Chains A and B, each alone.
Chain A
Amino acid sequence: MNGVIFDIKEFALNDGAGIRTTVFFKGCPLACRWCHNPEGQKPEPELYIKQNGCLDCGLCRRPCAHPECQPFGRCLHICPKNLVTVKGEVVSAEDLCARVLRQEAFLREAGGGVTLSGGEPLMQADFAAEVLDRLAGRVHRAIETSGYAGADAFQKVATRCDFVYMDLKLADPAAHKKWTGVDNAPILENAAWLKKSGIPHTFRTPLIPGVVDTAENLAAIEKIVGGSPWEKLPYNKLAPAKYKCVGREWTL
């Protein structure tokens, strides 16, 4: 089956054991105000205009005949600096796996593998499951998820992974809703299941200053984490730059 991805990153050093290739799934049910991959939020392909060095030549606004450009109102095949691009590529599970497995031998040798990230890979759970099945027995498989999904989808994907990284951002349901746009009940349920599942996992908390990194919140999350491994991640200061590229405002 087909899915939508927005990037494949080689030589990813922070997405699990060894050297990994990370596939970014497009679409996320959350809208965290600090999100550093805003281009991963919308499920469908979208215009992404790099802001650095636009010549204001206007070429991309001229009408063109390419069918693939029509939905975006810009020509994607003309910018002299290649600033006008689309994030989001429809790809079959088969093709995607063929691409990442070109470096299978090296990924295995380097103790690494493939990590599904996003966006939220669980938003395309069936697609993710098919990708993981095709990678089974070839490379180590990991996922990075917000944990926001129905229990069926979560378990279907998690049981196909060799390792799960799951975010725990805010313990308080109201605060979670305020900062991420969704309730955290499904996340807490999935976290409880994951802890008992026997699947190797680590919980992660992005230390957003003044929001997530309060003593109160961290203490509450520590309780949820229980005895599981827990990483606190520094806040990515480069995040605001990407918002303009997808035509949005940084509001944090």
Chain B
Amino acid sequence: MNEQLYRYYVIDRVHRGLREAWGEDLAARYAAENLTPEERMVRRFEEACRRQTPAIHPLEQIVLRRTVKKLPDVLTEAEWADIRKTHYVHELGYVSNLSPDYEKTIAVGLLARRETATDAQKRMIDALVGFCDRYRDEAARMGRDDVVAVLSRVPRYGARNFREALQFFRILHFALWLEGDYHNTVGRFDQYMYPYFKRDMDAGVYTRESALELVEDFFLSFNKDSDLYVGVQQGDNGQSMVLGGRLPDGGEGFNELSELCLEASRNLKLIDPKINLRVSKKTPLSLYEKGTELTRVGLGFPQYSNDDVVIEGLKRLGYEEKDAVNYVVAACWEFIIPGVGDDIANIGAINFPKLVDEVLRAYLPAGGDFDGLLDAVRAAIKRECERQMKDIRNVWFLPSPVMDLLRDGRKYRNFGLHGCGIASAADALAAVKEYVFNKKSVTPARLFAALDSDWQCDPELLHLLRYEAPKMGKNDDRADRMGAVILDAFADALEGQKNDVGGVWRAGTGTAMYYLWHARDLGATADGRRRGEPFGTNYSPNLFTEIPGPLSDIESFTKQDLTRTVNGGPLTLEFAAGIFDKPESIRKVAMLIKHFVERGGHQLQLNAVNLEAMRDAQAHPERHQQLVVRIWGWSAYFVELDKDFQDHVMARQEYGV
């Protein structure tokens, strides 16, 4: 990567200071004109295209960047409130977390797509093409004939080569964000781009070096505007890219382009795009070694997903084989289908520790046996799932003509629920079984008194339950089996249930931000957790579990039938960054990942953690502007996070040498 270009966009971030605020209450104007939601989306898009000023860095190959700051909303507060009265509004009310079909449009061009487009889409295509023309004119003014040539072809017509295809992707992706859609994922980039790449490589257009440079330039484009794409925190922007994996013909998808992507990511050390590697029992160790070389950089990816488990799981949920094989990862870890999916994979979340706590309080005083307790837990999980399934209906989104242009119908309309705090809930059940039922050393009255006082009245019981009891992460069947009970009950509760748009419900092991939100208002729990103390992220141990090592951790979290929880959510392993210094360690970590996959784990995410740097960054943020950490399903710059997210990252278990 050219150093000057990198400095401009990444270190100095000059372009951010050149943006203009929109500075208008658009919603009020639209409301006064009494426009339909679709008309508002089209008009805002047209206006946004007009407001953009073409800006090209003299050294960049892939152009387009935002010069307009945050988009004003198209609906007023009062209008949103009205909609909420009769509808379920998911998150911000704009479509999100989808994987568009870029391939088709890149191949034929927008003019061809325009012929069968709706009126709204035609206007948006025209606005976008006009905007790109202004970029072409700016390039001509600057004497950038290469950019002029590319923009004279795309987006009007289909791409003929790798560079045109990359620029076309950039235009479409940019347009999705400009429509107001968010968590716009990248999908199987190494598959749909491969024909363009291969043709150019075969024709000798690029050397490996110059192709890498182009891919790096392209990767940089994901980071130009990402500060405007804020989710729950900065960095939570869903620009996930999927590499490798099974092909519809049964072959293996990892190719030379996938390899270049890994290398580009490793060189740039930027948080976008976020890389996911699809693997399976057949994956050779060498691929895990390449992945580990990227892990070593400390970006918190690649994240691995296991084709053997995920494809099987998706088929069980009713996805057609050809679609299941094509799965990608949504913003964080949810498995979705590109091009034809309309799933809402993060529509709700179950708070397992809270459910288990409620059941213990209702059940234990009555004096039933442990099997009865588990039945009561299953029933509570079922009730809570039913409650959420009943509440989540009549979902309303703003229209999204651009996104609709990039997908072929809405074949899958399934809803996914996160499963939050599984380890905490499983540990609580294991502790109760061990001490209340088997050893009878703790009475229910003593347990509840301790919980109600947040352990103040019984520090000895805190020690027992927190540090001596069975825990997930220690390869202890007593706890791991409870994890399986919870997951099975979760999957059972959703099995066969339909949502109000004809889709099914999917169980998952992710937490998203609920590991903080669900835990905040929950009192002390029987796993030895203190009041308000966060759960582990996703499918991971409690933060205070003293884990013997990554092998035990992996074994604990792969004993369950994970084909039933393919809404996604990884086990996370944290390694001290220093372990990667020895070249041999790369191979050893790779073996560990292979072991995870062979044991039937569904998703795995590894971090190289530099605790000292994080401590120093809290004290001196100005010295650590580029320090990257992984949050629940995305990577972020540490200094841009709120302190509670920073503290959680620092408290996670870390393996040294």
8 A Cβ contacts from A54-110 to B: 59, 77-80, 82, 102-103, 106, 109-110
Contact across chains for A14 and B657 when beta carbons are under 8 A apart: yes
* A-side contacts of B655, CB under 8 Å: 11
Contact across chains for A13 and B549 when beta carbons are under 8 A apart: no
Per-position 1/0 for A6-45, Cβ under 8 A of B: 0011111110001100000000000000000000000000
Which residue in chain B gives the minimum CB-CB distance to A18?
B588
B462 contacts which of A80, A103, A109, A110 (Cβ < 8 Å)? A80
Closest CB pairs A-B (n = 5): A10-B549, A82-B467, A11-B549, A110-B591, A10-B551
User: Is B582 interfacial (CB-CB < 8 Å)?
Assistant: yes
Q: A13-B579, A13-B582, A13-B584 are in contact. Are A78 and B463 (CB under 8 A)?
A: yes
* B-side contacts of A110, CB under 8 Å: 588, 591, 595
A interface, CB within 8 angstroms of B: 8-14, 18-19, 59, 77-80, 82, 102-103, 106, 109-110
* A-side contacts of B546, CB under 8 Å: 82
Which residue in chain A gives the minimum CB-CB distance to B548?
A10
Contact across chains for A19 and B592 when beta carbons are under 8 A apart: yes
Q: A11-B655, A13-B584, A82-B546 are in contact. Are A77 and B463 (CB under 8 A)?
A: yes
Contact across chains for B582 and A77 when beta carbons are under 8 A apart: no
Contact across chains for A9 and B549 when beta carbons are under 8 A apart: yes
Which residue in chain A gives the minimum CB-CB distance to B591?
A110
Alpha-carbon separation in the docked complex, A23 to B467 (Å): 22
Alpha-carbon separation in the docked complex, A53 to B463 (Å): 16
Contact across chains for B657 and A77 when beta carbons are under 8 A apart: no
User: Is B466 interfacial (CB-CB < 8 Å)?
Assistant: yes
- Name the distance in Å between B180's Cβ and chain A's nearest Cβ: 46
Which residue in chain B gives the minimum CB-CB distance to A111?
B591
Q: A13-B579, A77-B468 are in contact. Are A109 and B591 (CB under 8 A)?
A: yes
Alpha-carbon separation in the docked complex, A106 to B550 (Å): 12
Which residue in chain B gives the minimum CB-CB distance to A85?
B467
Per-position 1/0 for B569-591, Cβ under 8 A of A: 00000000001001011001001
Contact across chains for A19 and B455 when beta carbons are under 8 A apart: no
User: Is B475 interfacial (CB-CB < 8 Å)?
Assistant: yes
8 A Cβ contacts from B444-489 to A: 455, 459-460, 462-464, 466-468, 475
Residue among A8, A13, A102 with the most chain B CB within 10 A? A13
8 A Cβ contacts from B479-506 to A: none
User: Is B552 interfacial (CB-CB < 8 Å)?
Assistant: yes
Alpha-carbon separation in the docked complex, A103 to B463 (Å): 29
23 contacts across the A-B interface (CB closer than 8 A): A9-B549, A10-B552, A11-B551, A11-B588, A13-B582, A13-B584, A13-B585, A13-B588, A14-B657, A18-B588, A77-B463, A77-B464, A77-B468, A78-B459, A79-B463, A80-B459, A80-B463, A82-B463, A106-B551, A106-B595, A109-B595, A110-B591, A110-B595
Q: A9-B549, A19-B588, A19-B592 are in contact. Are A59 and B459 (CB under 8 A)?
A: yes
Which residue in chain A gives the minimum CB-CB distance to B544?
A82
Contact across chains for A103 and B584 when beta carbons are under 8 A apart: no
Contact across chains for A11 and B467 when beta carbons are under 8 A apart: no
Alpha-carbon separation in the docked complex, A102 to B474 (Å): 12
- Name the distance in Å between A10's Cβ and chain B's nearest Cβ: 3
Q: A13-B579, A19-B592, A110-B591 are in contact. Are A8 and B548 (CB under 8 A)?
A: yes
Alpha-carbon separation in the docked complex, A8 to B579 (Å): 18
- Name the distance in Å between B615's Cβ and chain A's nearest Cβ: 12
* A-side contacts of B549, CB under 8 Å: 9-11
Alpha-carbon separation in the docked complex, A41 to B468 (Å): 26
* A-side contacts of B467, CB under 8 Å: 82
Residue among B460, B463, B464, B468 with the most chain A CB within 10 A? B463
Residue among B467, B475, B550, B585 with the most chain A CB within 10 A? B467
8 A Cβ contacts from B586-636 to A: 588, 591-592, 595
Q: Given known contacts A10-B549, A79-B463, what 8 new A-B pairs fall within 8 Å (CB)?
A: A10-B548, A10-B552, A13-B582, A77-B460, A77-B464, A78-B459, A78-B463, A80-B462
- Name the distance in Å between A85's Cβ and chain B's nearest Cβ: 9
A80 contacts which of B455, B585, B592 (Cβ < 8 Å)? B455
- Name the distance in Å between B467's Cβ and chain A's nearest Cβ: 5
Alpha-carbon separation in the docked complex, A59 to B462 (Å): 12
Residue among B475, B548, B552, B584 with the most chain A CB within 10 A? B548
Which residue in chain B gives the minimum CB-CB distance to A76?
B463
* A-side contacts of B466, CB under 8 Å: 82
- Name the distance in Å between B57's Cβ and chain A's nearest Cβ: 43
Alpha-carbon separation in the docked complex, A234 to B593 (Å): 29
Alpha-carbon separation in the docked complex, A14 to B585 (Å): 9
Q: A19-B588, A102-B475, A106-B551 are in contact. Are A13 and B463 (CB under 8 A)?
A: no
Contact across chains for A11 and B592 when beta carbons are under 8 A apart: yes
